């Protein structure tokens, strides 16, 4: 096969790590006329290969007798189903009885990786994840309505996509409607303009088993849409159907929302998803790095997890950048490369850490970092050391162990120092004022 020969030739031409990272995952799809179709794991991967390796691949094609052949990157081909095979029921497909209405589900395009298996569970989101699984299982633990709120990029859409995936896997004939609040409002307006509101109401009130509506905060001030959605929720909830709503704010914090609609949204469980903690981010980095085919050691994963906080999409963006820059560096990934990527993602030229805080505090107290790292028990040394440890714990996500390493101490000493400073803040107003000045300087680093 031509592609096999080309790969063997490329393996001899390119460095082994480059070949394994960028060429090995490519798959030959078809040769149609003068077009040679290849597919990669995703469109970002394919775009990078096209930009950086298309010329060398074309050269190998010409060497194998395919002159003037154009390389085309495409989606992976799907198996074609013959007409005869469609007449047979396939395993796992739920058959419909004559008295059962046809599935008229409407869903947004589902992300293939937004499943429960791919979702990283931590203290920050375990209640929301469990509640979504409960809604799929219909075990009655959550109630008929689930309201999830969080800031952008913390996994609301991942969970709602996961619900849709799981529902269609377990019960393909479930009538599921999944859309954004803006899409709902636009559909309602079209119904009014075309005088088809009866069909609109029937669709959601009678032909719906589970309703997923994202970004309900976008309905603030839209009284008519709120009234219509409220009526639909009322009918669905009373008839035992399932409803999942997502928003960037809690129901009580939404402005311009009708009180009756607000009350309806809180008729079941209301849960907040917070930013992932450092351990959850660590597992996210590991998982995403594996998807990007990156081999990162524990130190690099830990650095990324500690310094990219909040929006999980930042982690994905960082790892894509790491993969791209690793290609330019011959496939090698080191701490300097990781720090450069993190700085570009976070938007600063440096990352706040315990070492930087120790230098700042030492300068304020005219004590060197080496003195704070020494075994000295003089008050002139122990006080700035304890304050530096306290500030490092407060303004960084470095662990107690990491902070201790900066001062040549163990985690128990760091914990003791934090307690000492905390007690002084309660008893001594001068220490409180001093810490406030230092805190402001730390924030400016």
Q: Assess whether 249 and 171 both reside in one domain.
A: yes
**Separation CA 188–CA 200 (nearest Å):** 7
Task: Report yes or no on 106 lying in a domain.
Answer: no
- 43, with CB counted inside 10 A (0-12, 13-18, 19+), is exposed
Q: Which residues have CB under 8 Å from 183's CB, separation 6+?
A: none
> How far, CA to CA in Å, does 352 sit from each of 115, 258, 281, 391, 444?
34, 44, 18, 11, 10
Do residues 138 and 259 share a domain?
yes
Global confidence as pTM: 0.58
14: how many CB neighbours lie within 10 A of its CB?
17
Handedness of CA 419, 423, 428, 434 (dihedral sign): positive
State the average pLDDT over residues 393-415: 89
Q: Is residue 360 part of a domain?
A: yes
CB atoms within 10 A of CB 393: 20
Residue 255 pLDDT: 86
Cα–Cα distance, 324 to 343 (Å, whole number): 16
In a domain, 143, yes or no: yes
Same domain for 203 and 332, yes or no, is no
35 lies in the same domain as 163: no
User: Does the pLDDT of residue 415 top 90, yes or no?
Assistant: yes
> Does some domain include residue 108?
no
Q: What is the pLDDT of residue 444?
A: 67
Same domain, 133 and 231: yes
62 and 183 within one domain = no
Short-list 241, 243, 50, 47, CA closest to 160: 243
Mean pLDDT of the chain: 83
Domain boundary among 226, 251, 272: 272
pLDDT digits (tens, 9 = 90+) for 20-53: 778 888 888 888 777 888 888 777 677 778 877 8
Q: Is residue 420 part of a domain?
A: yes
Residue finishing a domain among 318, 341, 364? 341
Residues 96-147 pLDDT 10s:
434 444 555 555 567 888 899 889 888 888 999 999 999 999 888 888 899 9
Predicted pLDDT of residue 97:
39
> 249 and 164, same structural domain?
yes
Task: Note the pLDDT tens digit of each residue in 416-434.
Answer: 999 999 998 888 888 888 8
The CATH number given to whatever domain includes residue 299 is: 1.10.8
Do residue 9 and residue 50 come from a single domain?
Answer: yes
Same domain, 263 and 286: no
37: left (phi over 0), alpha (psi -120 to 50) or beta: beta
In a domain, 419, yes or no: yes
Q: How far is C-alpha 200 from the geometric centre of its chain's CA atoms?
A: 34
Residue 60 maps to a domain: yes
Determine the Cα angle at 55 with ends 52 and 57, to 5°.
Answer: 100
C-alpha 281/C-alpha 222 separation (Å) is 37
What confidence category does residue 191 fall into, taking pLDDT thresholds of 50, 70 and 90? very high
What is the pLDDT confidence band of residue 84, given thresholds at 50, 70 and 90?
Answer: very low
Helix, strand and coil percent figures for the chain, each rounded to 5? 55, 10, 35
Which one has a higher pLDDT value, 399 or 107?
399
What lies within 8 Å, CB to CB, of 267 at 6+ separation is 143, 144, 145, 237
Are the beta carbons of 132 and 163 closer than 8 angstroms? yes
Tell me: pLDDT of 336 over 90: no
Closest CA to 171 of 206, 136, 203: 136
Last residue of some domain: 230, 251, 272?
272
Question: Do residues 379 and 431 both lie within one domain?
Answer: yes
Distance between CA atoms of 197 and 216, rounded to whole angstroms? 21
- Do the domain assignments include residue 211? yes
Q: Nearest CA to 178 among 122, 223, 131, 132?
A: 132
The verdict on 140 and 210 lying in the same domain is: yes
* Residue % of the chain over a pLDDT of 90: 34
Number of domains in the chain: 4
Check whether residue 222 and residue 288 sit in a common domain. Answer: no
Sheet holding 70-74, edge to edge: 27-32, 35-39, 70-74
pLDDT band at 445 (very low <50, low <70, confident <90, very high): low
What's the CATH number where 395 sits? 1.10.1750.10
CATH number, residue 23: 3.30.300.180
Question: Which of helix, strand or coil describes residue 239?
Answer: coil
Please give the share of the chain, as a percent, with pLDDT higher than 70.
Answer: 89
Domain that holds residue 373: 354-443
């Amino acid at each position: 096969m031509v592609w096999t020969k080309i790969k063997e030739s490329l393996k001899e031409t390119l460095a082994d790590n480059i070949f394994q990272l960028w060429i090995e995952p490519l798959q030959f799809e078809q040769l149609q006329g003068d077009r040679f179709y290849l597919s990669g794991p995703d469109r970002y991967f394919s775009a990078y290969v096209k930009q950086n390796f298309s010329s060398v691949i074309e050269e190998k094609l010409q060497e194998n007798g395919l002159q003037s052949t154009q390389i085309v990157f495409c989606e992976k081909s799907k198996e074609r189903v013959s007409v005869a095979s469609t007449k047979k029921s396939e395993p796992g497909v739920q058959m419909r009885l004559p008295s059962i209405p046809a599935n008229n589900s409407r869903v947004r395009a589902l992300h293939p990786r937004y499943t429960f298996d791919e979702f990283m569970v931590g203290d920050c989101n375990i209640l929301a994840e469990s509640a979504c699984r409960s809604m799929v299982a219909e075990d009655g633990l959550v109630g008929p309505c689930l309201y999830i709120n969080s800031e952008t990029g913390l996994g609301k859409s991942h969970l709602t996509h996961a619900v849709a995936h799981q529902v269609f896997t377990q019960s393909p004939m479930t009538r599921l409607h999944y859309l954004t609040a803006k899409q709902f409002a636009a559909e309602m307006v079209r119904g009014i303009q075309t005088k088809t509101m009866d069909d609109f109401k029937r669709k959601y009130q009678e032909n719906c088993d589970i309703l997923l509506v994202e970004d309900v905060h976008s309905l603030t001030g839209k009284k008519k849409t709120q009234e219509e959605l409220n009526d639909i929720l009322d009918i669905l909830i009373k008839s035992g159907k399932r409803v999942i709503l997502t928003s960037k704010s809690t129901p009580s914090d939404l402005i311009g929302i009708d009180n009756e609609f607000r009350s309806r949204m809180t008729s079941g469980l209301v849960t907040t998803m917070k930013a992932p903690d450092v351990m959850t981010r660590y597992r996210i980095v590991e998982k995403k790095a594996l998807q990007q085919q990156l081999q990162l050691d524990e130190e690099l994963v830990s650095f990324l997890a500690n310094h990219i906080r909040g929006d999980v999409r930042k982690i994905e963006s960082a790892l894509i950048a790491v993969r791209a820059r690793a290609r330019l560096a011959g496939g090698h990934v080191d701490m300097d490369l990781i720090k450069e990527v993190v700085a570009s993602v976070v938007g600063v030229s440096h990352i706040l850490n315990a070492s930087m805080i120790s230098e700042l505090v030492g300068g304020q107290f005219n004590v060197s970092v080496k003195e704070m790292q020494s075994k000295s028990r003089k008050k002139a040394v122990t006080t700035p050391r304890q304050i530096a440890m306290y500030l490092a714990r407060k303004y960084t996500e470095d662990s107690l162990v990491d902070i201790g390493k900066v001062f040549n101490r163990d985690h128990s000493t760091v914990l003791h120092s934090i307690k000492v400073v905390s007690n002084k803040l309660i008893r001594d107003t001068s220490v409180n004022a001093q810490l406030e000045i230092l805190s402001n300087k730390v924030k400016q680093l």
